A = this chain, B = another copy of it.
Amino acid sequence: MKELSYWNAISEAIAEEMKRDETVFVIGENVQESPFLVTKGLVQQFGPDRVMDAPLSELAIAGATVGAAMAGYRPICDLTFADFIYCAADEVLMKAAQQYFSHNAKVNVPCVFLGVAGAGFGNGPEHSRIPAAMVMNNPGLKLVMPSTPYDAKGLMKAAIRDNNPVCFFFHKKCMPMKQEIPDEEYIIPLGVADVKRVGSDVTVVATSYMVHLALEAAKNLEDIISVEVIDLRSLVPLDIDAIITSVKKTGRVVVVDEDTECCGVAAEIGQQIMERAFDYLDAPVARVCAANMPIAGAAMEKYVIPQLAQVQNAIEAAAGSGFSA
């Protein structure tokens, strides 16, 4: 066992997979130095042909990723900020997602689109999104959003080995988090949620950094409400069974997701819960998401992004009056 930070867990996963499989390579802007650290150190180990500093050309970077994947490689494309998926939407949301299906499953597209995501540093509307719903609304793409170093490493290895394009959005606010990581290899399959806290009164379904907010809220409320926190880890595939199992136990759900509320992740999960467990619901599924506006920066960011108090309030409201202190 060794202690690794979130970013280091990701870079270790990439390094291990690059060692194991010569077809894995990294392409993107500034990936050799890696401003968000997840590919830092790789160039020294694997050389510039496998850790490729590209021009400032998102269309070409993402397009080359899709093309190289179709031609038998397993590129890891660093989009830098996840928001830059907008700058290559044709390539990522359309081409990567659809090439396999459109061509009768003859040619698959095994690649990873890395993006640092989320708010927390006041970087403003074009550098703070988690464009999760946009990815989910385009079938053919998988989507991973790890909340811990342990999960990040195991999920990254699964993402690289997956035979499909996988968006891997890691959260800015998780970067410094540390955790014990086993020395032996492990892989966390995509599509398996993790119950990060067991509880019986209210289910909180959370993604990415919001898992930590949910855990904090659960802890703050533990004397009055028993909160179960489910970390989805991957959104596509979605472990709806894990959610439904919990909902059947608690009958009360709050979905906490940092993506924009409207047509976001939480709406999909809420709707699916309603479809599958309507009779178990004691209260409507509540959602705590980014407000329906661009992600303001600087001092205004916190008025757009879910805050602890909101999560707590939503849990209390879901629990109903019987639980208030």
Contact = CB atoms under 8 A, between A and B. Distances in A.
B86 A87 contact: no
Nearest to A132: B263
Interface string A88-104: 01100110011001100
A268 B262 contact: yes
A107 interface: no
Contact of A275 (B87, B125, B260, B286): B286
Contacts of A274: 270-271, 274, 284-285
Interface residues of A, number: 48
B271 A287 contact: yes
A292 B93 CA distance: 14
Nearest to A290: B139
Copies held by the complex: 2
Nearest to A295: B98
Nearest to A126: B94
B93 A262 contact: no
A87 B265 CA distance: 23
Contact of A260 (B94, B101, B126, B138): B138
Contact of A271 (B138, B236, B267): B267
A224 interface: no
A27 interface: no
Given A126-B98, A267-B270, A271-B287, A90 B90 contact: no
A271 B136 CA distance: 17
A191 interface: no
B101 A137 contact: no
A88 to B, nearest CB: 8
Interface in A274-300: 274-275, 278, 281, 283-287, 292-294, 296
A90 B140 CA distance: 21
A14 interface: no
Interface string A125-143: 1100000011011111000
